[in-house]
Amino acid sequence: MTHVHEHDHEHGPGEGHSHDHGHDHDHGEARSFSVAVASPSGTRRVLSIQVPAEEMEKERSRVLAEYRRELRIPGFRKGKVPLAYIQKNYGDTIHTDAVRNLLPAVFEQALHQERLFPLGDPRFEKVEFPEGGLSFDAHIEVRPDIELKGYDRLTVEATRREIADGDVDEMVSHLRERMAVYSTVDRAATTADYTVLDYVPLSEAGEPEEAHRVKDYPVALSSENLLEEFKTGLVGARAGDEKTITVVYPADFGDAELAGKTRSFQVRVTEVKEKLLPDADDSFAKRVDPQVASLLELRLRIREQLNAEEESRFRREVEEKIIDAVIAGNAFEVPEVMVQNYLASLIEEDRRQREGSVDDEARDNAIRESYRETAQRAIRRYFILDAIRRQENVAVTREEIDERIRVIAAQVGKPEAEIRGLLNQGRRRANLESDLLDEKSMAFLRGRTTVKTG
Structural domain includes residue 18: no
> Is residue 381 a contact partner of residue 387, using CB atoms and an 8 Å limit?
no
> Is residue 144 a contact partner of residue 334, using CB atoms and an 8 Å limit?
yes
Output the average pLDDT for the chain: 86
- Pick the range with the lowest mean pLDDT from 68-72, 164-168, 215-219, 368-372: 68-72
Q: Which of 141, 160, 191 is the last residue of a domain?
A: 141
Using one digit for the tens of pLDDT, what is the confidence trace for 123-169?
Answer: 999 988 888 888 999 999 999 988 999 998 899 999 999 999 999 99
Residue 236: band (very low, low, confident or very high) from pLDDT cuts 50, 70, 90? very high
Q: 28: which residues sit within 8 A by CB, 6+ positions away? A: 105
Q: Is the pLDDT of residue 23 over 70?
A: no
Structural domain includes residue 16: no
Higher pLDDT, 114 or 85: 114
Using one digit for the tens of pLDDT, what is the confidence trace for 241-252?
Answer: 999 999 888 888
Structural domain includes residue 163: no
DSSP tag of 208: B
Instruction: Examine the domain organization and report whether 311 and 213 are in the same domain.
Output: no
Structural domain includes residue 218: yes
SS3 for 18? Answer: strand
Q: Is the pLDDT of residue 7 over 60?
A: no
pLDDT on residue 83? 67
User: How many domains are contained in the chain?
Assistant: 3
CB atoms within 10 A of CB 333: 14
361-391 helix and 295-329 helix, angle to the nearest 10 degrees: 80
Instruction: Examine the domain organization and report whether 119 and 189 are in the same domain.
Output: no
CB atoms within 10 A of CB 219: 18
Using one digit for the tens of pLDDT, what is the confidence trace for 98-130?
Answer: 888 888 899 999 999 899 899 888 999 998 888
Buried b / exposed e along 261-273 (16+ C-beta atoms within 10 A): eebebbbbbebbb
Using one digit for the tens of pLDDT, what is the confidence trace for 314-351?
Answer: 999 999 999 999 999 999 999 999 999 999 999 888 88
> Is residue 338 a contact partner of residue 377, using CB atoms and an 8 Å limit?
no
What single letter denotes the amino acid at residue 174?
Answer: H
State the CATH number of the domain containing residue 366: 1.10.3120.10
Using a 10 angstrom Cβ sphere, with 0-12 exposed, 13-18 middle and 19 or more buried, the burial of residue 24 is exposed
Domain range for residue 259?
181-276
Instruction: Examine the domain organization and report whether 242 and 321 are in the same domain.
Output: no
Higher pLDDT, 155 or 26: 155
pLDDT on residue 416? 84
Residue 375: band (very low, low, confident or very high) from pLDDT cuts 50, 70, 90? very high
> Is residue 378 a contact partner of residue 13, using CB atoms and an 8 Å limit?
yes
